[in-house]
Structure 1
Amino acid sequence: MIRSISRPARRKVPAGIAGAAALALVLTACGGGTSGSGEGDGGGGASADTTLVAYTGQAGDYQINFNPYSPSNIGGRGTIYEPLYFFNKARTQDPVPLLGTDYEWNEDGTVLTVTLRDDVTFSDGEPFTAEDVVFTFDMLKNTPAINNMGYDGVTEAVDDTTVTFTFDEPSYVQAPDLLGQYIVPAHLWADVNPTEDVVEAPVGTGAFVYNDFKPQAFTFTANPDYWDGEPELKQIRWLSLSGNQAGADALASGSIDWQTGPVPDIQNVSENYPGYDAVTANQNQMVLATCSSAEQGCTGAQVDPAVRQALYLAINRDQLNSLAFQGTASEMSPTFALVPSQEQWISSTISDPVSPTGADPDGAGAVLEAAGYAKGSDGIYAKDGQRVALNVEVVTGWTDYITAIDAITSQARDAGIEIVQTQSSWNEWTDKKQNGNFELVIDSLGQGPAPDPYYPYQYYFTTATPVGESSGNAFSRYSDPEVDAAVEELQALDFDDPAREALFATIQESIVADMPYIPVMTGGTTSQWNVGKFTGWPTEDDLYAFPAVWSALDAAEIYKALAPTAE
């Protein structure tokens, strides 16, 4: 019997993240118009009143890429491609049916059966069936570079509207990843290289369709044949600007309708920007990620865990929150269990379950000296002729992160560590991160599809790849056999199995000691949006989706909920 999504399940899947990105992940007057976008007639029946102008934080020109599996995808993928279900990361709720309508595990957690909608077509008019689901997951299984969830099951079409996922072992924790995976059309993607092709003319089942691309902006228009009805929002236009300051200026001039990022006096958006409002949610965990593994080809002082631990102690997080994040960030656990909503999963063996708020330069120095480092005449520690001097990569125009690095540079210097920053375009920053060409990179780690520490552990702390090869999510290139084994064992346990506690303890003890991602704070993700032009935005009382323009599936739900205020 397939369970209805509205009924309690025998085997539950966590539904959302209480209290509030992605896997995605980083916070962050455009020249050159686009046909079918901007002012006046927007194409597809769109006008200025029914066109939403969004800024994703892109600094510099876009390079066309609508491949939903590519780390360089430029945005909007959740509006073109859909998963089987939507999992809300902003609050606890049941998964929302999209291409799927029902799902159920068998008694031992080895077979997941999903029922699909029977009235869905792709935007080119071809029908969506179970064969598209089978094709998508076979492609993921056969392409390790895009198989971030480590899918190794067997996908079968029982009929056009029923698909099964079969595993050798119980695999309950895979349900949110399976149900939240983008589905692509088999009739087109049979000829696509999913690791290299940029998919210039995307086709999906989503509520919007591709319209036009220019390096400074691209547009999608409402899908008139969408299975859930054509959206009231008729067009979305994504702009590239020059960074956070340009985003704030565009907000002040009323030339954008939605951005997610810092603006001056962020606590008082509705007063400072008439017609706009803001919502903040804390979820994405900000880190100084390290290229951590010498075995995988990483070079630099950061390959030593003692250096990573020392930098962790050197950071004054209260000062960072004040200087860089306007008080919107919150505390973070070095276990990467989200606090406070996941603190029940933090092992009692972790002596300091929350990162210190103040700096401890003496403690940082003691860690380095115990590891054989000595402070040089320039005040910087060194060992075997290598100074503890580290370069950190950041995207040009990301003013909050740049300010944070400026502060960390001073704080680290007090602890005998030298930090130098390099600013580059988002495309170059992404390439360095994916291929391991960095020492440190400031970034945020998303929480995955459901409120459980398993997902960050599986995404970011397993599957190390050599420098020079695309890393997927695990860009720190960290690997530990005990962590790998514990993550694998967790896949076989239901979410309420008490045996998970010991496995979490094993993982947490290793990653707190090794610290391949140096915890900074849990970022306060703040969106500002035009409430005078559109209704239906999430509110603090109704966070029906995580409020971030760059969180693709959440943004897609928001676009579908919006309605222009103009008659």
Structure 2
Amino acid sequence: MFLRSAGAHRRPSRRTIPAAAGVAALALLVTACSGGGGGGGDSTGGGGDGTTLVAYTGQSGDYQINFNPFSPSRIGGLGTIYEQLFFINKAAESDPVPLLGTEYAWNDDGTELTVTLRDDVTWTDGEAFTADDVVFTFDLLAATPAINNIGYAGTATASDDTHVVFTFEAPAFVQGPDVLSGVPIVPEHLWTDVDPTADVVEEPVGTGAFLLGDFKPQAFTYTANPDYWGGEPALQTVRFLSLSGNTAGADGIAAGTIDWQTGPVPDMQNVSTNFPGYDTLTAWQNQMVLATCSSVEQGCAGPQTDPAVRQALYLAMDRTQLNSLAFQETANEISPTFALTTSQESFISSAIDEPVAPETADPEGAAAVLEAAGWVKGSDGIFAKDGQKLTVTVEVVTGWTDYITAVQTLGQQAKAAGIDLQTAQSSWNEWTERRTQGNFQLAIDSLWQGPAPDPYYLYTYFFASGSGAAVGEAAGNNYSRFSDPEVDAALEQLKTLPLDDAAARQPLFDEIQATVVEQMPYVPILTGGNTSQWNVGRFSGWPTEDDMYAFPAVWSAFDAAEILKRLEPTGS
């Protein structure tokens, strides 16, 4: 395994689908975080031999090799190479799917989680997988805050080669889903000298169904693992491409040279008619935002550090126009609390006056908010304060045509409210670097949901101060650098409560939501419609509306790994 250092980046986080599990199943659910782009091969051509699937994740610009599963700039490996203990389908209610783990159980007070492991698994270098690898991985997480995006605070102990006990100082039912399915397990015998925050793994060794094949900056491949504990997959090769953006992806679908992408194509409502041999699936979950570098205390600078500016941007949006011009009417409503209205409406505080973001713009309301905060409109129609013009820049990835259209439209809408909103395009690598290090004012992105239909997970991912960092240092999920001690305290209390104790939990959600809506470090846009197009002529086994066995997005790594394991070439 060869390593080299690299700066911290984030993966492209795009849009996902609502969870559908009932309250009784919440404690059983596990997370499947959306993952970064992968790739393969050196051209945009199809597989040719009928056994190679060509996929495009939205990667714009060359790949920089990085298969460190804990690195924000990883380009692949989650689920395919590095497996978690269980897989939970966040697209439909179902039991956890055993992977490296086969069974698990909590003690009565939620302070001890026991996991039984498979005894027939080997790493792809031939070494045996044991409980020591699981303990090592979780010890690494606990000792390295920069990679501990799930907020793991337990102690892992191997009772023998096939049993691990996770012990927590306080009840930790809500941590169960992330512990069980959100952590890729790495081999202790190769990782003892790895810096998980900086090292780049060029020759990854895992337990998954696929191996890394060829790597080139334009593409890379996975090949089937013939010794996989679950049996060698029928899909022999997966090639992930790097292209110029969404237009190239749509062109590849039209030409039949791409077999799977999750992104916009013309007339998305009629893919099966327009592209013979293809089908499509749209679902909703992740919430599109203008993320801000929000904290002056953490080193953020610019007008966006004023909550009034963030509130004004929220009011300036014409979401109906955005949905039409940028998203082909595939997006859905959004709550400023970030509780999904489709599956989490019961969690929205009754004290929130406007539980759903307005569909039309309110430039007068936006101006009133700014004026109350001391901003004064100039002769050019743009507000200013203390000699600083209200000009803010939104970072967007080159080639993400839907997001580019969205921010250009937002610029026109913001101008009507007295805000000068500029756009800066860059490669995904540059965009990720700026967000992770805090060298940005705003970035269009989306916030993803957790393993259960419960807003706790999004709040702890994106609003807990522990996953933030000072500007210039690598942040975790909370790249807005938001910090509020009362929100942190409420999240800590929620960790100790059973997921079905609504009476005890709702006051804590009320407190968090009041601050989230007032401070708005992530300015809500819309809940994105997540649309995949895939080649049903060449491959069978894709999810359908009747059998949504995994969240159907090529960039949602753990889910995509489950899909790739189920696909079979048709021979066409």
- Indicate the TM-score class for this superposition, using the shorter chain for normalisation: over 0.9
**Offset, 1:16:** 7.5
Q: Match for residue 385 of structure 1?
A: 387
CA contact (8 A) 1:25 1:446 kept: no
Matches of residues 52-63 of structure 1 in structure 2 within 5 Å? Answer: 52-63=53-64
Q: Match for residue 165 of structure 2?
A: 164
CA contact (8 A) 2:224 2:235 kept: yes
Q: Match for residue 27 of structure 2?
A: 13
Q: Match for residue 283 of structure 2?
A: 281
Gaps of 5+ in 2: 1-21
The reply to whether residue 477 of structure 1 matches residue 477 of structure 2 is no
CA change 1:39–1:486 in 2 (3 A) is closer
Gaps of 5+ in 1: 1-7, 41-47
CA change 1:430–1:252 in 2 (3 A) is same
Q: Match for residue 202 of structure 1?
A: 204
Q: Which amino acid aligns with 1:79?
A: T
Q: Match for residue 425 of structure 2?
A: 423
Measure the CA separation in 2 of the matches of 1:267 and 1:75: 30
Residues 233-286 of structure 1 show CA distances to partners (whole Å, capped at 9, x for unaligned) of 011010100000000011111111000100000111001111001001101110
**Offset, 1:449:** 2.3
Q: Match for residue 78 of structure 1?
A: 79
1:366 to 356, 368, 373: 368
Q: Match for residue 333 of structure 1?
A: 335
The reply to whether residue 211 of structure 1 matches residue 222 of structure 2 is no
Structure 1 length-normalised TM = 0.94
- Cα-Cα RMSD: 2.0
Q: Which amino acid aligns with 1:340?
A: T
2:33 to 11, 16, 22: 22
**Offset, 1:22:** 3.4
Measure the CA separation in 1 of the matches of 2:106 and 2:23: 9
Q: Match for residue 224 of structure 1?
A: 226
Measure the CA separation in 1 of the matches of 2:28 and 2:324: 34
Q: Which amino acid aligns with 2:107?
A: N
Q: Which amino acid aligns with 2:329?
A: G
Q: Match for residue 3 of structure 1?
A: none
The number of residue pairs the alignment matches comes to: 547
CA contact (8 A) 1:29 1:246 kept: no
Residues 337-393 of structure 1 show CA distances to partners (whole Å, capped at 9, x for unaligned) of 111201111111111111111101011011111111110011001111111110000
**Offset, 1:75:** 2.3
Q: Match for residue 130 of structure 1?
A: 131
CA change 1:114–1:488 in 2 (3 A) is same
The reply to whether residue 531 of structure 1 matches residue 560 of structure 2 is no
Measure the CA separation in 1 of the matches of 2:198 and 2:401: 31
Measure the CA separation in 1 of the matches of 2:279 and 2:25: 39
CA change 1:12–1:512 in 2 (3 A) is closer
Residues 269-312 of structure 1 show CA distances to partners (whole Å, capped at 9, x for unaligned) of 00111100100110111000000000000000000000000000
Measure the CA separation in 2 of the matches of 1:261 and 1:9: 31
Q: Match for residue 17 of structure 2?
A: none
Q: Does the residue aligned with 1:92 lie in a helix, a strand or coil?
A: coil
1:450 to 452, 462, 473: 452
**Offset, 1:39:** 5.2
Q: Match for residue 236 of structure 1?
A: 238
The reply to whether residue 495 of structure 1 matches residue 506 of structure 2 is no
Q: Match for residue 410 of structure 1?
A: 412
Q: Which amino acid aligns with 2:425?
A: Q
Measure the CA separation in 1 of the matches of 2:334 and 2:96: 26
CA contact (8 A) 2:383 2:419 kept: yes
Q: Does the residue aligned with 1:77 lie in a helix, a strand or coil?
A: coil
Q: Match for residue 43 of structure 1?
A: none
Q: Which amino acid aligns with 1:22?
A: C
Structure 2 length-normalised TM = 0.93
Residues 31-85 of structure 1 show CA distances to partners (whole Å, capped at 9, x for unaligned) of 9459xx9756xxxxxxx20110001111111000111111111124220011001
1:510 to 515, 522, 525: 515
CA contact (8 A) 1:141 1:147 kept: yes
% same residue:
67
Q: Does the residue aligned with 1:140 lie in a helix, a strand or coil?
A: helix
